[in-house]
């Protein structure tokens, strides 16, 4: 059975058919664990790429919801099979189907992005690959009930500014991979987490947020770190030996964000209520205990850097420039799916496996992170096909120089100014 690549927009209104009521934390944990990962071979790759949308005539103006949806409605079927959705702040996301191997997924995304860029350019808009909006203040344009309720939840939990920035001002490259054989889950999940800081440093591409330098190479990661760790921190447990139990424990401890009673309704929970308290009847949200459908919905409101959804959803990469995203995608997939490359990655990332904030703050300026990154990209480059040669060459050169995409955009913003730099990228100037 193939996995389905789902975006947060698709998660917004899940069907709420009648489902079994849950009456204990143990029953809830069993439900989460049973659907955590799917046993099978590795090999399929699904990609999701988000891009900020800017008006070519006025980069400070945030396009309206109707403008974006009108463009999308006029698109032909994309040749690579991607679906197009709009994020809360107007970022446009392409979600590709699962395909056999990284090159098939990369090639499909390249052709779909070309069609998408051309359609938006014809309408006077440019799609910019940056991890955070460097120019505009956070503003939600997606009218969905889910996002209105999320805003209320973040305000009530005193993370309103970070929540607004996360929803409306950040963008990523997301990679979805098969979980692999059951007997290898623990090692695979541990390595996916261990690679996080190194790959964050390699892909850091958000030095500015809302018109200001943030002091971080990845302001996107900084935003996520300011949200509650119970919802956005790593899932990995102390030993990492049992990913299903780790995910179940994480899900039950995480506070309930929304209660979804109808397909068009999402009510925010404005007090800190771990899902375990709801399922044990300590706090009857909505005047009732949760169902399996409520638990499944709760899982879509958890945003760890690696999220198990039968497959592994890797969420820690900034959206990165056109020239290098294929190489970055190939690198991460190869380091996880190629056994020999995975052995290299496990060894060289061990000294920096928990350096999440350091990686986001300084990128490759840290000697240990740069060393790990060099060895990782070289291992991938040795296995890259000829058609990826130029993208890999650029990535290897940047890593060897200790530079990440954030350095390039910072230089551009200092030289030309923030708004002109964004306008250049929106017009496709390199």
Name which of 185, 204, 179 is nearest 373 in CA terms.
204
Whether 134 and 205 have beta carbons less than 8 Å apart is answered as no
Q: Rounded to whole angstroms, how far apart are CA atoms 178 and 8?
A: 20
Helix, strand or coil, per DSSP, at residue 318: strand
Over residues 12-37, the mean pLDDT reads 81
The answer to whether 326 and 391 have CB atoms below 8 angstroms apart is yes
**CB 87 within 8 Å of CB 9:** yes
| Residue 260: band (very low, low, confident or very high) from pLDDT cuts 50, 70, 90 | confident
Q: Is the pLDDT of residue 11 over 60?
A: no
417-420 — which CB contacts under 8 Å span 24+ positions? 418/134, 418/135, 418/208, 418/211, 419/59, 419/60, 419/135
pLDDT band, residue 237 (cuts 50/70/90): confident
Determine, yes or no, domain membership for 20: no
Distance in angstroms (rounded) separating the CA atoms of residues 242 and 304: 17
For residue 2, what pLDDT band results from cuts at 50, 70 and 90? very low
Q: Evaluate whether 328 touches 210 at the Cβ level (below 8 Å).
A: no
Residue 8 belongs to some domain of the structure: no
Residue 315 lies in a domain: yes
Whether 19 maps to a domain, the answer reads no
pLDDT at 33 over 50: yes
Lowest-pLDDT choice from 279-288, 319-328, 348-357, 395-404: 279-288
The CATH number for 200's domain is 3.30.590.20
| Tens digits of residue pLDDT in 407-424 | 999 999 999 999 999 999
Is 416 part of a structural domain of the chain?
A: yes
pTM (whole model) above 0.85? yes
- Which of 131, 127, 106, 92 has the alpha carbon at shortest distance from 46? 106
Domain-embedded: residue 1: no
Residue 34 CB burial class (10 angstroms; 0-12, 13-18, ≥19): exposed
**Domain-located, residue 2:** no
Domain count, the chain: 1
Q: What is the mean pLDDT of the chain?
A: 93
Confidence of residue 262 (pLDDT cuts 50, 70, 90): low
Q: Which pLDDT tens digit goes with each residue over 96-133?
A: 999 999 999 999 999 999 999 999 999 999 999 999 99
Segment 151-164 mean pLDDT: 94
- For 65, the domain range is 25-427
Q: Can you tell me the distance from the alpha carbon of 371 to that of 126, in angstroms, rounded to the nearest whole number?
A: 36
Let me know if residue 12 belongs to a domain.
no
pLDDT tens by residue, 312-359 = 999 999 999 999 999 999 999 999 999 999 999 999 999 999 999 999
């Amino acid at each position: 059975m193939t996995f389905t690549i789902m975006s947060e927009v698709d998660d917004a209104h899940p069907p709420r058919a009648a489902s079994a009521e849950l009456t204990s934390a143990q029953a809830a944990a069993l439900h989460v664990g049973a659907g955590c990962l799917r046993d099978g071979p590795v090999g399929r790759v699904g990609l999701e790429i988000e891009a900020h949308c800017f008006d070519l005539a006025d980069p400070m103006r945030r396009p309206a919801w109707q403008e974006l949806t009108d463009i999308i409605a006029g698109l032909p079927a994309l040749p690579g099979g991607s679906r197009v959705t709009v994020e809360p702040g107007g970022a446009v996301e392409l979600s590709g189907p699962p395909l056999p191997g990284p090159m098939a997924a990369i090639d499909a995304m390249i052709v779909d992005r070309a069609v998408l860029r051309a359609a938006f350019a014809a309408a006077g808009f440019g799609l910019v690959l940056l991890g955070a909006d460097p120019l505009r203040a956070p503003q939600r344009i997606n009218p969905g009930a889910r996002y209105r309720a999320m805003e209320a939840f973040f305000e009530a939990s005193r993370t309103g500014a970070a929540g607004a920035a996360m929803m409306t001002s950040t963008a990523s490259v997301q990679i979805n991979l098969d979980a692999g054989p059951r007997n290898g889950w623990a090692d695979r999940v541990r390595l996916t987490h261990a690679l996080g800081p190194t790959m964050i440093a390699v892909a850091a591409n958000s030095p500015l947020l809302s018109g200001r330098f943030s002091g971080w190479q990845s302001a996107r990661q900084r935003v996520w770190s300011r949200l509650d760790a119970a919802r956005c921190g790593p899932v990995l447990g102390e030993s990492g030996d049992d990913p299903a139990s780790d995910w179940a424990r994480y899900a039950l401890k995480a506070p309930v964000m929304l209660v979804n009673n109808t397909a068009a309704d999402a009510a925010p929970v404005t007090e800190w209520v771990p899902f375990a308290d709801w399922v044990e009847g300590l706090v009857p949200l909505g005047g009732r205990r949760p169902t399996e459908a409520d638990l499944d919905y709760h899982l879509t409101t958890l945003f760890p850097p690696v999220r198990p959804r039968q497959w592994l959803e890797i969420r820690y990469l900034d959206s990165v420039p056109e020239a290098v995203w294929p190489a970055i995608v190939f690198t991460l997939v190869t380091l996880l799916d190629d056994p020999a490359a995975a052995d290299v990655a496990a060894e060289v990332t061990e000294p920096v496996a928990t350096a999440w904030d350091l990686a986001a703050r300084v990128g490759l300026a840290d000697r240990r992170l740069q060393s790990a990154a060099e060895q990782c990209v070289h291992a991938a480059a040795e296995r890259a096909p000829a058609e990826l040669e130029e993208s890999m060459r650029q990535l290897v050169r940047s890593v060897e120089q200790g530079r990440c995409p954030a350095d390039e955009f910072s230089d551009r913003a200092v030289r030309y100014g923030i708004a002109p730099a964004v306008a250049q990228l929106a017009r496709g100037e390199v």
